[in-house]
Structure 1
Amino acid sequence: MNHQQRLNALIARVDQVAHQSEGEYSVQWAGASSQAAITELEQALGVRISGSFRDFIVQTGGGGLDSLCISTIPAHGPLGGLGTVHGDTLRYRQGWPAPLPAHLVVIQRSQDDNEPFCLDTSRVQDGENPVVLFYHQSTGRVEPIAASFTAFLEDYLEPYWEDLPE
């Protein structure tokens, strides 16, 4: 299965979670984005986004499962506030003991401002930016998490599948 097929399967499975969990989880997508919106964001942040995260955003705009909500890139107005890749990235680039380096882009942050998951746009391997965890409240250390956005989603959504019927 190629990365687009894996990504499509994950999105379809997330869509089933709300129904199968009897209301325990909710799912909300931002709505399909566009290459133009992603390009506008890239120019504003000074980065280049590659691979399955880009494909995910074009297809869904971001969002997903409420407890693992992916930062959005809206098709109209991609330079938004908190909850968007732009707003979340700017938040972590300032005001912390360890500001977010310019090559990292926040793709998922917690409401409690814990360590954000980021794309490392300084690296592209097999067409993918790896996903890392950034320790902004302490050392500024970057911890590798997954080689691609699709692999990140597969790993971090796995606990939700365990209690649901196939």
Structure 2
Amino acid sequence: MNDSSISEIVTRVNQLPDIDESVDVSWVGASDDTAIKILENALDVNITGSFRDFILQTGGGGLEDLYISSISKDAPLSGCYEDTIHYRQDWCPHKLPDHLIVIQRDFDDNEPMCLDTSVVIDGENPVVLYYYQSTGNIEKIADSFSSYYQEFLSPYFDANDI
């Protein structure tokens, strides 16, 4: 599968409700570098590549079933920050390592999808799954956020011929 740009992926997501009434799309609203920097400083990380582009364009959000944690221009220490801090607390059998930030949280507290900020390859942070409940292992899911997002949206795109 070709790695589409974030703009192309977001355009396709925005077309889904016009084709399928059961699909709900909601974006937080474009963010900015200041909000991202506030989050980066608070978590001591550096966000690069397509996830940063996604946040600048949308702020976070998307499909209800595939909601991406936000970095809001007006409240940068909510969304992604709160989701990340949630898995760094004492209740976790294996606390989230400092170099991971949660980009997609399952509110049933299943394993979160994270951005690995300790790795940058071709300007991208990879997307990983963190097994906090069982082993504390990290499983690489995609080389970039855009690859991850496009792959998980492909059933919606394919079903609706977008």
TM-score class, shorter-chain normalisation, is: over 0.9
Higher relative contact order (CA 8 A, sep 6+): 2
Q: Distance in 1 between matches of 2:39 and 2:26?
A: 22
Count of aligned positions: 160
Query: What SS does the aligned partner of 1:143 have?
Result: strand
User: Which position in structure 1 is the counterpart of 2:114?
Assistant: 118
Query: What SS does the aligned partner of 1:105 have?
Result: strand
User: Which position in structure 2 is the counterpart of 1:88?
Assistant: 83
User: Which position in structure 1 is the counterpart of 2:12?
Assistant: 13
Q: Distance in 2 between matches of 1:24 and 1:140?
A: 36
**What pairs with 1:1-150 in structure 2 (closer than 5 Å)?**
6-21=5-20, 23-80=21-78, 84-94=79-89, 95-150=91-146
Q: Aligned-pair distance for 1:92?
A: 0.6
Query: What SS does the aligned partner of 1:72 have?
Result: coil
User: Which position in structure 2 is the counterpart of 1:156?
Assistant: 152
Q: Aligned-pair distance for 1:123?
A: 0.3
Deviations 1:100-120, CA, capped at 9 Å, x for gaps: 000000000112111110000
**CA contact 1:20–1:165 (8 Å) conserved in 2:** no
Deviations 1:33-71, CA, capped at 9 Å, x for gaps: 010000000000010001010011010000001100000
Q: Aligned-pair distance for 1:162?
A: 2.1
- AA aligned to 1:161 is F
Q: Distance in 2 between matches of 1:40 and 1:165?
A: 39
Identity fraction in percent: 52
TM (norm. structure 2) is 0.95
Query: What SS does the aligned partner of 2:135 have?
Result: coil
Structure 1 consecutive aligned stretches of length 4 or more whose deviation exceeds 2 Å: none
**CA contact 1:25–1:65 (8 Å) conserved in 2:** yes
Q: CA RMSD in A?
A: 1.3
Q: Distance in 2 between matches of 1:103 and 1:8?
A: 27
- AA aligned to 1:54 is R
Q: Distance in 1 between matches of 2:6 and 2:71?
A: 17
Contiguous gaps of at least 5 residues in structure 1: none
